[in-house]
Amino acid sequence: MSYRRTADFLLHDWLDVASLQSRERFADHNRETFDAVLDMCEKLAAEKFAPFNRLADTEEPWFDGEKVHLPAASHAAAKAYAESGMLAAAQDYELGGMQLPCVVEMAANSFFSKAGIGIGGGGMLTSGNANLLMAHGTPMQQQVFAANEFGGRFSGTMCLSEPQAGSSLSDVVTRAVPDGLDFEAEPLGPRYRLRGNKMWISNGEHELTENIVHLVLAKIPGPDGKLVPGTRGISLFIVPKKLVGTDGQLTGERNDVALAGLNHKLGYRGIPNTLLNFGEGKFPVRGAPGAIGYLVGKPGEGLRCMFHMMNEARIAVGLGATMLGYAGYEASLAYAKDRPQGRPMGPGGKDATLPQIPIIRHADVKRMLLAQKSYCEGALALELYCARLVDEAHTGAPENAAQAALLLEMLTPIAKSWPSEWCLEANSLAIQVHGGYGYTRDFPVEQYWRDNRLNMIHEGTHGIQALDLLGRKVVMDGGKGLQLLASRINATIERAIALPGFAEQANTLAATLAQVGAATKAAWATGNPEEALANATPYLQAFGHLVLGWIWLDVALCAQARAATLDDALLQGKLAACRFFFRHELPRVGAWLQVVTSRDDTCRTMDEAWF
């Protein structure tokens, strides 16, 4: 079953994206325009990305002391992607956008992630950067920076982490001080001088675009010259690599942003990952050291603004992880169909005189392929469902929009973390299907695994997503988000239990939902956050499997309802993957939740000396 056929089924049969055209923002669209965008991206990914995926892995970015070098294929891919209009796909027509629904935009971008996730400069960061400025920037900042990012002239980054702080943003020490007495009169926003170091900055230095727009978290010192402790002192700044005028044109001045070095990565090698020094004086600007930056929003609200980009990035990371898993699934499926090995087992054992059979006929190989299918297609459905919630939150009726926004808040930690863990496992299984060949560079599956290993780390590690889920999301507003999600799951259960063949899954999902609900209450029974959150990661894993079980059951119900119009292979494939997930995967939930429910203290009380 082709990936495009699965994507079309999820978009049109399951999520009914055609219904969005009844809304004013999407009134110019229909099935034909949506399909045209997917056709364009599928073709562009096949021509400009897929043939160079290995090249981007083997010809890593390198720094000659002045600039970062990337293969010509990366330059060509970045140019082609910008010219396609996909950087501004969801934006207003006035900005050169297509006013596409988010769900269609994400489905279209999935082709690039599957074809070559490390090629072409990472448009996700640039569009996310620009989207943040459209939400929180001034009209001038939007015109000068965001519009040029959407147009492909500029690219964007997000600069949060620092070498000494990592994910602990409250410990950032990059400083921003007002630049002159007239700093507030700057047309591009209040002007500051920044000094500090930022680590793990993807696309922090390259020559793919005219300019790079860094969004930088920094602290403005108080009257005593000291930085405010914690996150409440963090502000957000636009720090361009090259200074620009109010017309968006380069002034010819280089800002004081310097590359300190490149990080050499396990995978995802096509995108340069950098350590940047801001304001060290290597490129003095206007006669003084210090990188010039323009305040976005109000002082002290930087983290709130940045989370607009981070939440979007987390869903995009989940989709990227999904598509790397999917690429490995497709490769191992093709290999299993072609690779002869072993013979069928008869009543008397194997008959060596019979010809060998393709390995896909062996039950254990089918197990590994079914696992991959259930992980990757389930994750894809989850990501597209979340994107559909974005559209509902932005364009739906007020009550529906509010519910969609709340549900999206609940699901974002799962949308980021679940594919990052289980589609990585799919990549591992793809290697296993290939046997020894999978561990060599003669086949692409080892690269897919290496590329995907990053996704459990960036945009918030697995543990951070777990703390966010159990420590904030399930308890916020008195548990309203959890209650809303439970109501959606129960609605699917009620539909399923009334249909022949789905009672087993309906009852299993109901029991799993009850388990998660009970574990949530037990974790917080003492009200002690240290006790409740000590086992947050197994809670995240259990919660994620609950969500994926719900997604799979809902998808299976849709497939069954459309049995008369679907080809049999697609229908039976969806039903089999659903059965596999319920019988092979959901039983894990009980083991994960056991330590959560008992507030097991093994990890919490482990003394460092005992290691």
**Strand bridging mode 68-69 / 242-244:** unpaired
**Which DSSP letter does residue 226 get?**
P
Q: Identify which of 552, 553, 573, 550 has the alpha carbon closest to the alpha carbon of residue 563.
A: 573
Question: How does strand 211-219 pair with strand 234-240?
Answer: antiparallel
**The Cα angle at residue 485 between residues 483 and 491, in degrees rounded to 5:** 100
Partnered with residue 178 across adjacent β-strands are 192
- 468 and 460 Cβ atoms separated by less than 8 Å: yes
Could you tell me how many residues make up the chain?
A: 611
Q: Partners of 363 in the beta sheet?
A: none
How far apart, in whole angstroms, are the C-alpha atoms of residue 198 and residue 531? 33
Give every CB contact of residue 557 below 8 A, 6+ residues apart in sequence: 492, 495, 496, 499, 502
In 3-state terms, what secondary structure has residue 481? helix
446 is catalytic: no
- Element of type H or E holding 201: strand 191-202
Pairing of strands 191-202, 211-219: unpaired
Q: Dihedrals φ, ψ of 220, to 5°?
A: -90, 120
Helix/strand/coil for 320: helix
Biggest CA-to-CA distance, the chain: 92
Q: In Å, how far are 79, 157, 429, 445 from 299, measured between CA atoms?
A: 36, 20, 48, 47
Distance CA 372, CA 571 (A): 17
Give the N- to C-terminal CA distance of the chain in Å, as an integer: 49
Catalytic residue among 253, 459, 504, 531: 459
Which residues lie across from 236 on neighbouring strands?
A: 217, 296
d(CA 222, CA 114): 47
User: Which amino acid type is present at position 345?
Assistant: M
Of 106, 499, 480, 451, the closest CA to residue 313 belongs to 106
- The CA distance from 108 to 4, in Å, is 10
Torsion of CA 77, 82, 83, 86, to 10 degrees: 110
For the annotated catalytic residues, the residue numbers are 459
